[in-house]
């Protein structure tokens, strides 16, 4: 016989915020990139905009994307997480597009942007950062206990509500979806 050691320990659920654990490091790196890209673009636009306007405007855009990602990851609410997914996706698309463009047409980029050559000037962190951001955000969409059910007919509604309408297990066969909802059996 085995000894009883007490009640089973509850399994820890993911925290309710993206600001915990590895998320803190992610927010810190995004904040660093937001500050550096925005400051760099601001100085370049203010002092020598005519030298490389495309590159400087793209750096300013990258800075804005990093700011949005930083704020939304730090807030961590469900709405903020959805916005963070969009900003990380835009960032990844921007790194890939600008990286390819800067290699295909170097004349357009006399000065590098954060995303030029896929972020090679920053150790390719701009290329991998959105991937890690999206992977971190993905865990919030795979939380247990969240199950969506799509009901296609009144009969299915009765079955989903436990009425067993389709199998004659209670509930009237002429009962509609509105009646099931009104009965409180959803």
Query: What angle (nearest 5°) sits at the alpha carbon of residue 13, between those of residues 28 and 68?
Result: 30
**DSSP single-letter state for residue 162:** T
CA 84, CA 60: separation in Å to the nearest integer?
A: 18
Q: How far is CA 147 from the centre of its chain?
A: 19
75-84, 91-100, 143-152: segment of lowest average pLDDT: 143-152
Q: Of all residues in the chain, what percent carry a pLDDT higher than 90?
A: 54
Residue 26 Ramachandran class (φ > 0 left, ψ -120 to 50 alpha, else beta): alpha
Taking only the tens place, the pLDDT of each residue in 159-174 is 545 554 444 444 445 5
**DSSP single-letter state for residue 20:** S
**Cα-flanking dihedrals φ and ψ of residue 162, to 5°?**
90, 5
Residue carrying the six token digits 């436990």: 162
- Asked if 13 and 143 touch (Cβ cutoff 8 Å), the reply is yes
The residue extents of the domains of the chain are: 22-141, 154-183
* Per-residue confidence (pLDDT) for residue 21, from 0 to 100: 79
Taking only the tens place, the pLDDT of each residue in 119-132 is 998 999 999 999 99
Kindly report the pTM of this predicted structure: 0.67
* Per-residue confidence (pLDDT) for residue 6, from 0 to 100: 58
* Per-residue confidence (pLDDT) for residue 18, from 0 to 100: 67
* Per-residue confidence (pLDDT) for residue 165, from 0 to 100: 47
């Amino acid at each position: 016989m085995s000894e009883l050691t007490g009640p089973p320990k509850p399994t820890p659920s993911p925290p309710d915020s993206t600001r915990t654990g590895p998320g803190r490091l992610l927010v810190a790196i995004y904040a660093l990139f937001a500050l550096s890209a925005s400051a760099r673009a601001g100085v370049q636009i203010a002092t020598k905009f005519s030298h490389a306007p495309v590159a400087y405007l793209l750096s300013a855009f990258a800075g804005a994307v990093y700011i949005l990602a930083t704020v939304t990851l730090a807030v961590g609410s469900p709405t903020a997480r959805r916005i963070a997914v969009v900003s990380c996706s835009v960032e990844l698309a921007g790194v890939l597009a600008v990286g390819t463009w800067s290699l295909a047409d170097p004349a357009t980029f006399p000065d590098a942007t954060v995303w030029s050559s896929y972020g090679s000037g920053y150790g390719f962190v701009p290329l991998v950062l959105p991937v890690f951001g999206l992977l971190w955000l993905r865990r919030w969409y795979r939380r247990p206990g969240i199950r969506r059910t799509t009901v296609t007919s009144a009969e299915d509604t009765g079955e989903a509500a436990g009425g067993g309408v389709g199998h004659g297990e209670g509930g009237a066969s002429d009962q509609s979806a509105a009646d099931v909802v009104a009965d409180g059996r959803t």
